[in-house]
Structure 1
Amino acid sequence: MPESHAPRFVHLRVHTEYSISDGIVQVDAAIARAAADGMPALGISDLANLFGMVKFYKGARGKGIKPIIGADCWITAEPDRDKPYRVLLICKNRQGYGQLCELLTRAYMENKYRGRAEIRREWLTAESASDLLCLSGARDGDVGHALAAGNTRLAEQLAADWSRRFPGGFYIELQRAGHPGTETYIREALAIATKLELPVVATHPIQFARPEDFKAHEARVCIAEGYVLSDKRRPKDFTEQQYFKTQDEMAALFADLPEALENSVEIARRCSLTVQLGKNFLPLFPTPDGMSLDDFLIQEAKAGLEERLAQLYPDPEAREQQRQRYEDRLKFETDTIIQMGFPGYFLIVADFIQWGKANGVPVGPGRGSGAGSLVAYSLKITDIDPLAYALLFERFLNPERVSMPDFDIDFCQDNRYRVIEYVRERYGKDAVSQIATFGTMASKAVVRDVGRVLDLPYGLCDRLSKLIPVVQNKPLSLADARDQEPQINELMNDSSDGESIQELWSLAEPLEGLTRGVGMHAGGVLIAPGKLTDFCPLYIADGEDATPVSQFDKDDVEAVGLVKFDFLGLRNLTIIELALEYVHRLTGHRPDLMSLGFEDQAAYQILREANTTAIFQVESDGMKKLLKKLAPDRFEDIIAVLALYRPGPLGSGMVDDFILRKKGQQAIDYFHPDLTACLSPTYGVIVYQEQVMQISQIIGGYTLGGADMLRRAMGKKKPEE
């Protein structure tokens, strides 16, 4: 590499929007700035978390930049816990990443104080942190605190202690970000580094991308901490210098300390973290007597099918007539599941569903494409015979497109937690957690938040927020709202509050869409093979009943190979359970729902009258209108009504065709004689995605796997596919 192009500096301290309390740099924006400046590597160091790790890792590698993964960690101060200090821990490699995950998880689980997840100094040993580098935290580290207090001797002792904990991996950190006392700190820190023969490194604490974003960043800090911007007493921890500086700017800033600049590049060279993405790691399902997963799946599915056939066809002669098509379908499915490597997934799901059913937890009969699997029906994961309703296995698991199967499983809302507890006991507490979600600052909320920190009247902010139009349950962005709602511009330009509103808008725009807080995914549960911290760290919110969640969202946990199981809580199942208990108390008899047929006209009468409040998926006003119009009198009509009540069919005339043909008021057209069997249940109207797949198989000669790819492309409206 020619000398002129050799990198002179690498940023190791970017606080992205995932620092939550401070930092408004979006991950992609940080990567773009590093790329534009020719930096070969870039390091993020969010505050006590790795929330943005996967997005940063993927984004940086996609732009040819080496991702450096670290965390700005709180370290517990004794005896005064109100004055913790900070160090930057950076992963040298995959082992170091595992160590950092373990340390951060332990901080959240065992050592939270006033909302801070703190690492204890004694946890950091030459063994537990062998593959981590440690930067001293500059003014915010304990060495910096001791120097600020005028205690040079203590500062030396602390630096020597860190050096023992991180042999060859501890750096004295120097920063020039415009804070008072900076030069005194640098002079004294250099003296300690020289005396103890420790390397020094220049870093720059980045909180925002451009100098002009300083005020928006201050607003974000005030939103997180509950201050008003104009409050003279609020802590002012950040300066206008904390933007993303170029290599030229950093070289000028530390022109007197070239070795400190060189060491930032040297640290980037020392770190090479590779995380395997896109491969799934299923938990190990315990099989009896060392039997293979494949053989156990086949055995369980065959035994389950025998039970199901006995229920479906009580007459032995009828059962034998039907047996062959069920056995052929079962063999095709088990072969596909085994070939794709998913027998463990089916066995795990079957195990916790069967436990739920055996332990008084009402479970839904199955929903979504998973109902197309005969193996799922045989293992009692679902309670719908897929052959009776022409449901296709390929829509659930496509042998031509490898992706994880995904059952949506409904549990009674009040008992869902018991099934999760069972899974914790079965696979180990360290292996099971729920999944984080990240709430963002949407336009309506950010207007109110910024209005509050600017100390504007509540009524004004409320009015502005309400002026932002909502389209399909989502508020428009601030830019689109201005285009579409003329009153916003009128208020900005003509009213007495115009200047205040313009300031509010200019601060709200850079904050819009940023991560605001951490929540919990409604249904997702992770089960890892071994410890979750081998894959990602865990987070726990403040509060007594808080549950551990992954520090990655659902897309990122799947990217690092963890498998998500959907445990959805459904209040309708709780209502049905209460009704069954009520019948039992009144009559002494508890009905078995699964043995009831689908012929009871009194049930259809309730639907025809649209008396459907609290009945799952048919309780909205629009659905009630459709039920009255369609007047269902057979089970197929209920299936159709759920598929027809969607924006596409409602706007296309399909619904009217279906109703007129059902009532005999319109001729039925099957397009082609070969499609009669496939389209007769819906009077020739193409209602279901399965029908799209069957038509492409019958007319276009597709395999069902290929037909599923076509269905997906149609669903995404991508003509080029």
Structure 2
Amino acid sequence: MYLNCHSEYSLRYGVLSIERLVELAKFNGVECMALTDINNSTGGWEFGKACLDAGIRPVLGMEFRRNERLLYIGIARNIEGFRELNEFLTHFNLTKTEIPDEPMSFSNAYVIYPFESKSANELKENEFIGIRANELNKLFGRPLEGLRDKLVVLHPVTFDDKKGRYLHAHLRAIDLNILFSKLQKENVAQETEFMLPLSELKRQFEFYPFILKNTEQLIASCSIAFEDGSKNRKTFLGSKYEDKELLEKLAFEGMAYRYGKNNKTALERVKQELKIIDDLGFASYFLITHDIIRYTMSQGFYHIGRGSGANSVVAYCLKITDVDPIELDLYFERFLNPKRSSPPDFDIDYSWDQRDAVHTYLFKKYGQQHTALLGTMATFKSNSSIRELGKVYGLPKEEIDELADFPQKVWNRNELTRKIVTLGRAMAGMPNQRSIHAGGVLIAEKPLTYYTALDLPPKGLPIVQWDMYEAEEIGFEKFDILSQRGIGHIKEAVDIVKRNRGVKLDIHDVPKLKEDAKVKEQLHSGDSIGCFYIESPAMRGLLKKLACDTYLTLVAASSIIRPGVAKSGMMKQYIQCYHFPEKINYLHPVMEEQLQETYGVMVYQEDVLKVCHHYAGLDLADADVLRRAMSGKYRSKKEFERIVQRFFENSKELGRPDDITREVWRQVESFAGYSFSKAHSASYAVESFQSLFLKVYYPREFMVAVINNFGGFYKTWVYIHEARRAGCTILNPCVNKSEYTTAIYDADVYLGFIHVGNLETTFARLIPEERKRNGEYQSLEEFVERTNITLEQVMLLIRINAFRFTGKSKKELLWEVYNYLGHKRKTHEPQKLFNAPKKNYQLPELVNTVVENAFDEIELLGFPVSMSHFDLLQTQYRGDVMAKELMQYVGKQVKMLGNFVAYKVVKTVRGQLMYFGTFFDFKGDFFDTTHFPDTAAEFPFRGGGCYLILGKVVEEFGFPSLEIVKFAKLPTLKDPRY
């Protein structure tokens, strides 16, 4: 009877989770019902499985709306009908056209129109009219000839009770972006849209038995078969045997490259992995991934393979990863094993400017019907829901901010705040909007519309309408094609070195990089600005505290820096144990047995699995659920709570002391959402070593590459400062030297036109392109004629001193340019055969000062080039102590001068704000500060610039920092022109 049920996947409309919807159906004696969410099929497979588990027959469909208006409801007779509905919606999503008033002719799906929107003689054989109980009176006195066989029960389900409708109404106001008081009757669902006992629904239609009969016949004719097993492309070459043969061939060839032909350990491991891969049917998955790597390497792309896939020696041999699992004692079973409850995937990182080409290759090779990007579901967070509700009640921004940031403090202030906070809590966790996953790609054996409709986001490639969790439940193993700026700057640095120095680097020769003495020394120093994953203040501090100078120590550091380990106090314990292994006091003999490598501290996901298995006796399947929960890849709270209970029950049965069990669990729990697998940390450490190698041997080229990739922990000006420290001479953009991005000629670095604020991209690209075509610019006048630039745009270039080759001051050039463009907009003229001689004017002497230039640079670039931040201060004072001297003053108060770089905000256990700051001194060396809540409130940060700092020098494991006593921003010189 229920042909029109909405779940919360009817975004900002439905309020029922799939679980709650099925629970209501079970309670009300419903034996069969259809999920018909609005313009999406997100919940289809989740609904189907939930219904089957509850003994209810599921039917899938979709409600089609246009501009809030219900057009019709599609009901799938079978899986082919579900595909038809998905393909119908997909067509309009991908073409960005509106859903029509009438659908296409479906062969395997029914169409139900709302009452009085169609006459019976307009209907096709598979089309019906839905009528609500409160519309039955409209049949009185109406001839039913021709209509009798076409009427079916339409009782939509949108909420469970009045409270649910109230929440639904607020979701509608949020969706329509209007005040709650402005909601109209037609904007919200009718009061009757909740689930009734089946007997009550039938009673409402008892005088129209033919309507009940039509409905029962329609729903009885629908049946959806949900297939188990993998939905990925089954083979790479066309047959499983050929796939197996090819994978073996590639693996043994790769083994000879990585280990040599006579490495018995590698040979045994490769054979073992190949057997498991074949037994579990993953040969095609490995081959498709290898094909991606093969193609991208042929294009000169640079990649990093990471994640649990780095546990595989076969992956290492196929060049999917650069992590040697044998060296790190990584278990393949962590990646792929018969008991693993979730499908594995490879994470492949490319440079941020190359990933789109990888996607294009995949879509072209496997076809748009079979290939799509993975979606994700953004949910209402408690903070965001309160903000949205504040808007629909017209609250001013200040009140909304206070409500969102301190709900506990103000929720009881008045009736409205209580209402908003209560509704916000009810909304928390509900789906808000569909979005795109960071990198997941699905390649299906059958057309993807058998499982979902597709959306087309601004990125321009189709995405499925569900997320990674649902993909996993359905049976997809995603291919994670990710992008990052770190790879971009490594790739570009290698290219610059080859172009400028004629040196061809093998940056993939990882064993050589890991043993390089100078690279290890650089790591030990913590001087890692610009290096992937190890440049943040916290990470640089950790490197110094650990005196880190080996690859294996860096692998551990890459994991213990994660918030879960650091917050739980385990990072500090690890450092202590690292320096004083003789003082280790293991929590329990199991910890000593399983965690000797990490000094009794859980550092990696694998460590947590070991402890849960050996200390609490959890089996591998339950341990895997814990692992996924820790990495944010599991969402069943009930299952998680069941395992937690089993953890404590098993520990008790094994005779573990309660107090130790609680502490072990506290440490386990601290990893939730933050932990890395060891293979993942090892992959990051490889990339860090590659960055370090470039920074040590080619620091100038490396820093230019970092600047050009706009990625990293710091702002561009910090990397420019670091380039200066590397020996670069930083020069303003020049029309005869600069490129669109920053260029380097030996030690001279010319900033790119991309950095000039408000300079249009068209001109920023045109200037170097025109120079390459027709030679250097000879004068300002010639430049204007060749580029057809506008007055406003050329003035930006003059102010940044991009025409200094003319030998004229900026003020002279500004005067001159008005002769060319001052009173009219330049129109394009055909190229002249001869240029008329230039007229020379006698001008008074017009001089620019260095300070004026610096202020122009700050305005247009965001930072000074002609002068340093320190030179712009009104004071000549540069501090009593420099950063390199801090260890000599431990325990003492010192006065320093620092140029502010960055800060991190944290909340104390009492909810107060404190800060960790990073600065560099007059000599360019970095130092760190701690601002406790009392001083942070009294002496706040006031934006970028130089600060006078009074602080107490403290030290931890040889790493000094300042605890702030007083803190004030210093005044700068004034722009002399104003």
**Which category of TM-score, normalised to the shorter sequence, fits these structures?**
0.7 to 0.9
Q: Does 1:556 align with 2:470?
A: yes
SS at match of 2:303: coil
Q: For the residues of structure 1 that align with 2:384 and 2:591, how far apart are their CA atoms?
A: 52
Q: For the residues of structure 1 that align with 2:581 and 2:41, how far apart are their CA atoms?
A: 62
How far is the alpha carbon of 1:678 from its aligned partner? Answer: 9.3
Q: Would the aligned equivalents of 1:227 and 1:234 in 2 still touch at CA under 8 Å?
A: no
Q: For the residues of structure 1 that align with 2:400 and 2:324, how far apart are their CA atoms?
A: 55
Tell me which of 535, 539, 548 is aligned to 2:455: 539
Q: How many residues align?
A: 631
Amino acid at match of 2:168: H
Aligned counterpart, 2:411: 488
Aligned counterpart, 2:30: 39
Report the CA distance shift for 1:432/1:665 in structure 2 as closer, same or farther (over 3 A): closer
Aligned counterpart, 1:607: 523
Aligned counterpart, 1:591: 505
Aligned counterpart, 1:158: 122
How far is the alpha carbon of 1:518 from its aligned partner? Answer: 0.9
SS at match of 1:388: helix
Report the CA distance shift for 1:537/1:340 in structure 2 as closer, same or farther (over 3 A): same
Tell me which of 375, 378, 382 is aligned to 1:439: 378
Report the CA distance shift for 1:500/1:378 in structure 2 as closer, same or farther (over 3 A): same
Aligned counterpart, 1:666: 582
Q: For the residues of structure 1 that align with 2:396 and 2:212, how far apart are their CA atoms?
A: 48
Q: For the residues of structure 2 that align with 1:583 and 1:560, how far apart are their CA atoms?
A: 47
How far is the alpha carbon of 1:183 from its aligned partner? Answer: 5.6
Report the CA distance shift for 1:635/1:505 in structure 2 as closer, same or farther (over 3 A): closer
Report which stretch shifted further, 435-444 or 594-603.
Answer: 594-603
How far is the alpha carbon of 1:262 from its aligned partner? Answer: 3.7
Amino acid at match of 2:497: V
How far is the alpha carbon of 1:400 from its aligned partner? Answer: 4.1
Q: Would the aligned equivalents of 1:104 and 1:119 in 2 still touch at CA under 8 Å?
A: no
Aligned counterpart, 1:500: 416
Q: For the residues of structure 1 that align with 2:47 and 2:363, how far apart are their CA atoms?
A: 31
How far is the alpha carbon of 1:376 from its aligned partner? Answer: 0.7
SS at match of 2:212: helix
Q: For the residues of structure 1 that align with 2:576 and 2:306, how far apart are their CA atoms?
A: 28
SS at match of 1:430: coil
Rg: which structure is higher?
2
Report the CA distance shift for 1:457/1:219 in structure 2 as closer, same or farther (over 3 A): same
Report the CA distance shift for 1:708/1:354 in structure 2 as closer, same or farther (over 3 A): farther
Q: For the residues of structure 2 that align with 1:242 and 1:707, how far apart are their CA atoms?
A: 45
Q: For the residues of structure 2 that align with 1:580 and 1:486, how far apart are their CA atoms?
A: 54
Report the CA distance shift for 1:224/1:656 in structure 2 as closer, same or farther (over 3 A): closer
Report the CA distance shift for 1:236/1:679 in structure 2 as closer, same or farther (over 3 A): closer
Q: Does 1:130 align with 2:115?
A: no
Q: For the residues of structure 1 that align with 2:336 and 2:6, how far apart are their CA atoms?
A: 41
Q: Would the aligned equivalents of 1:340 and 1:402 in 2 still touch at CA under 8 Å?
A: no
Tell me which of 92, 96, 102 is aligned to 2:81: 96
Amino acid at match of 2:436: M
Aligned counterpart, 2:221: 270
RMSD: 3.6
Taking structure 1 as the reference length, the TM-score comes to 0.79
1:238-261 CA distance string (max 9 Å, x none):
332333333354344334323323
Q: Does 1:243 align with 2:175?
A: no
Aligned counterpart, 1:425: 364
Q: For the residues of structure 2 that align with 1:391 and 1:203, how far apart are their CA atoms?
A: 58
Report the CA distance shift for 1:203/1:335 in structure 2 as closer, same or farther (over 3 A): same
Aligned counterpart, 1:24: 15
Q: For the residues of structure 2 that align with 1:450 and 1:187, how far apart are their CA atoms?
A: 44
Report the CA distance shift for 1:240/1:647 in structure 2 as closer, same or farther (over 3 A): same
Q: Would the aligned equivalents of 2:380 and 2:429 in 1 still touch at CA under 8 Å?
A: yes
Aligned counterpart, 1:414: 353
How far is the alpha carbon of 1:265 from its aligned partner? Answer: 3.1
How far is the alpha carbon of 1:693 from its aligned partner? Answer: 8.0
Aligned counterpart, 2:62: 71
SS at match of 2:327: coil
Q: For the residues of structure 2 that align with 1:674 and 1:41, how far apart are their CA atoms?
A: 52
How far is the alpha carbon of 1:630 from its aligned partner? Answer: 0.2
Report which stretch shifted further, 249-258 or 525-534.
Answer: 249-258
How far is the alpha carbon of 1:503 from its aligned partner? Answer: 3.4
Q: Which has the higher helix share?
A: 1
Q: Would the aligned equivalents of 1:88 and 1:134 in 2 still touch at CA under 8 Å?
A: yes
Tell me which of 135, 151, 157 is aligned to 1:206: 157
How far is the alpha carbon of 1:235 from its aligned partner? Answer: 4.8
Taking structure 2 as the reference length, the TM-score comes to 0.59
Amino acid at match of 1:617: Y
Q: For the residues of structure 2 that align with 1:690 and 1:241, how far apart are their CA atoms?
A: 52
1:414-442 CA distance string (max 9 Å, x none):
11111111111111122111112111121
Amino acid at match of 1:558: E
Aligned counterpart, 2:741: none
Q: Would the aligned equivalents of 2:310 and 2:325 in 1 still touch at CA under 8 Å?
A: yes
Q: For the residues of structure 1 that align with 2:541 and 2:610, how far apart are their CA atoms?
A: 31
Aligned counterpart, 1:172: 129
Aligned counterpart, 2:533: 617
Report the CA distance shift for 1:671/1:448 in structure 2 as closer, same or farther (over 3 A): closer
Q: For the residues of structure 1 that align with 2:15 and 2:621, how far apart are their CA atoms?
A: 41
Unpaired segments of 5 or more residues in structure 2?
631-642, 651-978
Q: Would the aligned equivalents of 2:63 and 2:70 in 1 still touch at CA under 8 Å?
A: no
Q: For the residues of structure 2 that align with 1:131 and 1:243, how far apart are their CA atoms?
A: 29
Q: For the residues of structure 2 that align with 1:506 and 1:592, how far apart are their CA atoms?
A: 59
Higher RCO structure (Cα 8 Å, ≥6 apart): 1
Amino acid at match of 2:270: L
Q: Would the aligned equivalents of 2:348 and 2:481 in 1 still touch at CA under 8 Å?
A: yes
Q: Would the aligned equivalents of 1:657 and 1:666 in 2 still touch at CA under 8 Å?
A: no
1:39-74 CA distance string (max 9 Å, x none):
112222111211111221122222211112111124
Q: For the residues of structure 2 that align with 1:353 and 1:529, how far apart are their CA atoms?
A: 21
Report the CA distance shift for 1:279/1:83 in structure 2 as closer, same or farther (over 3 A): closer
SS at match of 1:195: coil
Identity of aligned residues (%): 28
Aligned counterpart, 2:941: none
How far is the alpha carbon of 1:223 from its aligned partner? Answer: 1.0
Aligned counterpart, 1:303: 253
Q: Would the aligned equivalents of 1:435 and 1:549 in 2 still touch at CA under 8 Å?
A: yes
Report the CA distance shift for 1:378/1:248 in structure 2 as closer, same or farther (over 3 A): same
How far is the alpha carbon of 1:269 from its aligned partner? Answer: 1.9
Amino acid at match of 1:355: Y
Amino acid at match of 1:97: F
Report which stretch shifted further, 214-223 or 250-259.
Answer: 250-259
1:584-633 CA distance string (max 9 Å, x none):
33312132112243123332333333333443333443333221110112
Amino acid at match of 2:416: S
Q: Would the aligned equivalents of 1:438 and 1:519 in 2 still touch at CA under 8 Å?
A: yes
Aligned counterpart, 2:315: 376
Q: Would the aligned equivalents of 1:372 and 1:393 in 2 still touch at CA under 8 Å?
A: yes
1:62-91 CA distance string (max 9 Å, x none):
22111121111248xxxxxx8976222111
SS at match of 2:438: strand
Q: Would the aligned equivalents of 2:581 and 2:599 in 1 still touch at CA under 8 Å?
A: no
Q: 1:251-266 counterparts in 2 under 5 A?
A: 251-266=202-217
Q: 1:502-541 counterparts in 2 under 5 A?
A: 502-541=418-457
Q: For the residues of structure 1 that align with 2:339 and 2:443, how far apart are their CA atoms?
A: 26
Report the CA distance shift for 1:234/1:609 in structure 2 as closer, same or farther (over 3 A): farther
Report which stretch shifted further, 292-301 or 643-652.
Answer: 643-652
Amino acid at match of 1:387: I
Aligned counterpart, 1:476: none
SS at match of 1:417: helix
SS at match of 1:307: helix
Q: Would the aligned equivalents of 1:629 and 1:659 in 2 still touch at CA under 8 Å?
A: yes
Q: Would the aligned equivalents of 1:171 and 1:199 in 2 still touch at CA under 8 Å?
A: yes
